Protein backbone atom coordinates (compact mmCIF):
# COMPACT_ATOMS: atom_id res chain seq x y z
CA UNK A 1 0.00 0.00 0.00
CA UNK A 2 1.00 3.59 -0.67
CA UNK A 3 -0.53 6.86 0.37
CA UNK A 4 -1.01 9.55 -2.27
CA UNK A 5 -1.60 13.14 -1.20
CA UNK A 6 -3.03 15.80 -3.51
CA UNK A 7 -0.54 18.07 -1.78
CA UNK A 8 -0.77 21.54 -3.34
CA UNK A 9 -3.24 22.86 -0.79
CA UNK A 10 -3.40 20.00 1.70
CA UNK A 11 -3.50 21.22 5.29
CA UNK A 12 -2.92 17.67 6.58
CA UNK A 13 0.28 16.81 4.70
CA UNK A 14 2.36 16.89 7.90
CA UNK A 15 -0.11 14.67 9.76
CA UNK A 16 -0.11 12.16 6.90
CA UNK A 17 3.68 12.06 6.72
CA UNK A 18 4.10 11.67 10.48
CA UNK A 19 1.54 8.88 10.90
CA UNK A 20 2.65 7.07 7.73
CA UNK A 21 6.30 7.16 8.76
CA UNK A 22 5.37 5.65 12.13
CA UNK A 23 3.47 2.90 10.30
CA UNK A 24 6.27 2.52 7.72
CA UNK A 25 3.93 3.16 4.80
CA UNK A 26 5.34 5.07 1.81
CA UNK A 27 3.85 8.47 1.00
CA UNK A 28 3.80 10.18 -2.38
CA UNK A 29 3.14 13.92 -2.33
CA UNK A 30 1.91 15.12 -5.71
CA UNK A 31 2.42 18.86 -6.25
CA UNK A 32 2.52 21.28 -9.13
CA UNK A 33 5.81 22.94 -10.04
CA UNK A 34 4.23 26.18 -8.77
CA UNK A 35 4.70 24.72 -5.26
CA UNK A 36 8.28 23.54 -5.78
CA UNK A 37 10.40 23.25 -2.65
CA UNK A 38 13.92 22.06 -1.92
CA UNK A 39 12.83 20.83 1.54
CA UNK A 40 13.43 17.17 2.22
CA UNK A 41 10.33 15.39 3.47
CA UNK A 42 12.12 12.52 5.20
CA UNK A 43 12.30 8.76 4.92
CA UNK A 44 9.54 7.03 3.03
CA UNK A 45 8.26 10.25 1.44
CA UNK A 46 8.55 10.95 -2.27
CA UNK A 47 7.53 14.22 -3.90
CA UNK A 48 6.32 14.10 -7.50
CA UNK A 49 5.99 17.38 -9.36
CA UNK A 50 3.56 17.90 -12.23
CA UNK A 51 2.70 20.75 -14.58
CA UNK A 52 0.58 23.54 -13.20
CA UNK A 53 -2.47 22.56 -15.28
CA UNK A 54 -5.81 22.35 -13.49
CA UNK A 55 -6.04 18.57 -13.32
CA UNK A 56 -2.37 17.55 -13.68
CA UNK A 57 -2.00 16.34 -10.08
CA UNK A 58 -5.25 14.37 -10.30
CA UNK A 59 -4.16 12.63 -13.50
CA UNK A 60 -0.77 11.76 -12.01
CA UNK A 61 -2.30 10.35 -8.84
CA UNK A 62 -4.70 8.21 -10.87
CA UNK A 63 -1.83 6.97 -13.03
CA UNK A 64 0.21 5.96 -9.97
CA UNK A 65 -2.47 4.70 -7.55
CA UNK A 66 -3.41 1.05 -7.38
CA UNK A 67 -6.28 -0.82 -5.78
CA UNK A 68 -5.88 -0.75 -2.00
CA UNK A 69 -3.92 2.52 -1.85
CA UNK A 70 -5.05 5.56 0.14
CA UNK A 71 -5.66 8.92 -1.52
CA UNK A 72 -5.98 12.16 0.44
CA UNK A 73 -7.80 14.90 -1.50
CA UNK A 74 -10.45 17.55 -1.26
CA UNK A 75 -11.26 17.17 -4.97
CA UNK A 76 -14.54 15.30 -5.45
CA UNK A 77 -13.70 14.35 -9.04
CA UNK A 78 -10.42 12.75 -8.02
CA UNK A 79 -12.19 11.06 -5.12
CA UNK A 80 -14.73 9.55 -7.50
CA UNK A 81 -11.98 8.20 -9.77
CA UNK A 82 -10.07 6.83 -6.78
CA UNK A 83 -13.13 5.00 -5.47
CA UNK A 84 -13.73 3.46 -8.89
CA UNK A 85 -10.14 2.19 -8.87
CA UNK A 86 -10.62 0.51 -5.46
CA UNK A 87 -8.71 3.03 -3.38
CA UNK A 88 -9.64 4.35 0.05
CA UNK A 89 -10.17 8.09 -0.33
CA UNK A 90 -10.13 10.54 2.58
CA UNK A 91 -10.98 14.25 2.81
CA UNK A 92 -8.83 16.48 5.01
CA UNK A 93 -11.93 17.55 6.97
CA UNK A 94 -12.05 14.05 8.45
CA UNK A 95 -14.53 12.08 6.37
CA UNK A 96 -14.16 9.16 4.04
CA UNK A 97 -15.51 9.30 0.50
CA UNK A 98 -17.72 6.31 -0.21
CA UNK A 99 -19.79 4.98 -3.08
CA UNK A 100 -22.79 6.05 -1.00
CA UNK A 101 -21.81 9.73 -0.57
CA UNK A 102 -19.82 10.58 -3.71
CA UNK A 103 -22.84 11.10 -5.99
CA UNK A 104 -24.37 13.61 -3.58
CA UNK A 105 -21.06 15.46 -3.23
CA UNK A 106 -20.59 15.66 -7.00
CA UNK A 107 -24.20 16.79 -7.48
CA UNK A 108 -23.80 19.53 -4.87
CA UNK A 109 -20.60 20.71 -6.55
CA UNK A 110 -22.37 20.82 -9.91
CA UNK A 111 -25.36 22.73 -8.54
CA UNK A 112 -23.09 25.29 -6.87
CA UNK A 113 -21.13 25.74 -10.12
CA UNK A 114 -24.38 26.32 -12.04
CA UNK A 115 -25.53 28.84 -9.42
CA UNK A 116 -22.24 30.73 -9.71
CA UNK A 117 -22.44 30.64 -13.49
CA UNK A 118 -25.88 32.27 -13.33
CA UNK A 119 -24.51 35.07 -11.15
CA UNK A 120 -25.49 33.80 -7.72
CA UNK A 121 -23.07 33.75 -4.85
CA UNK A 122 -22.32 30.54 -3.02
CA UNK A 123 -20.50 29.96 0.21
CA UNK A 124 -16.89 28.90 0.01
CA UNK A 125 -15.41 26.18 2.20
CA UNK A 126 -15.32 26.79 5.92
CA UNK A 127 -11.95 27.52 7.52
CA UNK A 128 -9.87 24.50 8.50
CA UNK A 129 -9.99 24.15 12.29
CA UNK A 130 -8.14 22.24 14.98
CA UNK A 131 -11.26 20.09 15.33
CA UNK A 132 -10.99 19.21 11.61
CA UNK A 133 -7.31 18.39 12.09
CA UNK A 134 -8.10 16.09 15.03
CA UNK A 135 -10.97 14.45 13.18
CA UNK A 136 -8.76 13.75 10.15
CA UNK A 137 -5.94 12.42 12.32
CA UNK A 138 -8.29 9.95 14.03
CA UNK A 139 -9.83 8.83 10.73
CA UNK A 140 -6.41 8.37 9.15
CA UNK A 141 -5.06 6.36 12.09
CA UNK A 142 -8.18 4.16 12.10
CA UNK A 143 -7.93 3.62 8.34
CA UNK A 144 -4.33 2.45 8.66
CA UNK A 145 -5.20 0.24 11.65
CA UNK A 146 -8.02 -1.40 9.67
CA UNK A 147 -5.67 -1.96 6.74
CA UNK A 148 -3.06 -3.52 9.05
CA UNK A 149 -5.65 -5.95 10.47
CA UNK A 150 -6.71 -7.19 7.04
CA UNK A 151 -3.18 -7.57 5.66
pLDDT at 38: 73
Domains and CATH numbers, the chain: 3-144 (3.40.50)
* Strands of the sheet with 70-72, listed across from one edge: 45-50, 27-32, 3-6, 70-72, 88-91, 95-97
Does the pLDDT of residue 7 top 80, yes or no?
A: yes
Cα gap 23→9, rounded to integer Å: 24
> pLDDT tens digits for 55-110?
899 999 999 999 999 999 998 889 999 999 999 999 999 999 998 888 777 788 67
pLDDT at 36: 73
> pLDDT tens digits for 21-62?
999 999 999 998 866 777 777 889 999 999 987 789 999 999
Does the pLDDT of residue 134 top 80, yes or no?
A: yes
pLDDT at 88: 97
Amino acid sequence: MKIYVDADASPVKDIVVSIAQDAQIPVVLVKSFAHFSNNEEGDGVETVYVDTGAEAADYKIMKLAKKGDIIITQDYGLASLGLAKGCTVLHHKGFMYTNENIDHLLQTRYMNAMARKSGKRTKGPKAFTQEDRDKFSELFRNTIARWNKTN
